[in-house]
Amino acid sequence: MTAAVPYLLYLHGFRSSPRSFKARVVQQTLARAGHGERLICPQLPASPKAAIELALELAAQHAPHNLAIVGSSLGGLYATWLAERLGARAVLVNPAVNPTRNLERHVGVTTNWHSDEPFEFRQEYIGELEALKVAQITRPERYFLLAATGDEVLDYRDMVAHYPGARQHVIDGSDHAIQEFPQYVDEVLAFCGFTR
């Protein structure tokens, strides 16, 4: 008996969207494999509380046995919280593990990378982020970390330390966006339960 093809919840990063480079690579790869309809990739609201509520609503019907989560950057924080809450597998791509340290300076009106559409990142969102931090992961076999030493936004050493015992692929060099992501997408999707 073959395992069921899972659903994949993709959670983008801060100021990003379902049109991000990595999200599109995942979408195209799944579509080529005939699994395009298994991808759930919402536009996340600026409010972390609203973003996690939306993600939880989308994930709950498939978790934990028929769901995997991929989270990039801030989406990695959300994916970790969801994996702990739902018992699902998660791939973290250059995840934010201490986002309050980096996002304080973004309080105010900013724009989305892919549309230049303005949105407000409010001061109260910092507290919402704090509430979503996972101090220590459980069941590390549930996690796969893909981190780049050349990440110019977040320190890969924080990521490595935050996911002890998890499968880890540390890329020497690269950047926060991981421009070579097409080289790693098969490894990511295999961990999520997609086979060719």
Neighbours of 187 (CB within 10 A): 14
Residue 72 belongs to some domain of the structure: yes
Q: Which domain holds residue 74?
A: 11-182
* DSSP structure class, residue 174: -
Domain count, the chain: 1
Q: Which single residue is written with the structure tokens 């910092």?
A: 126
pLDDT in tens, 130-163: 999 999 999 999 999 999 999 999 999 999 999 9
Q: The whole model's pTM is what?
A: 0.94
- State how far the Cα of 150 lies from the Cα of 156, in Å rounded to an integer: 8
Q: What is the CATH number of the domain that holds 141?
A: 3.40.50.1820
Residue 36 belongs to some domain of the structure: yes
Residue 195 belongs to some domain of the structure: no
**85 burial via Cβ count (<10 Å: 0-12, 13-18, 19+):** middle
Please tell me the least confidently modeled range out of 43-52, 56-65, 152-161.
56-65
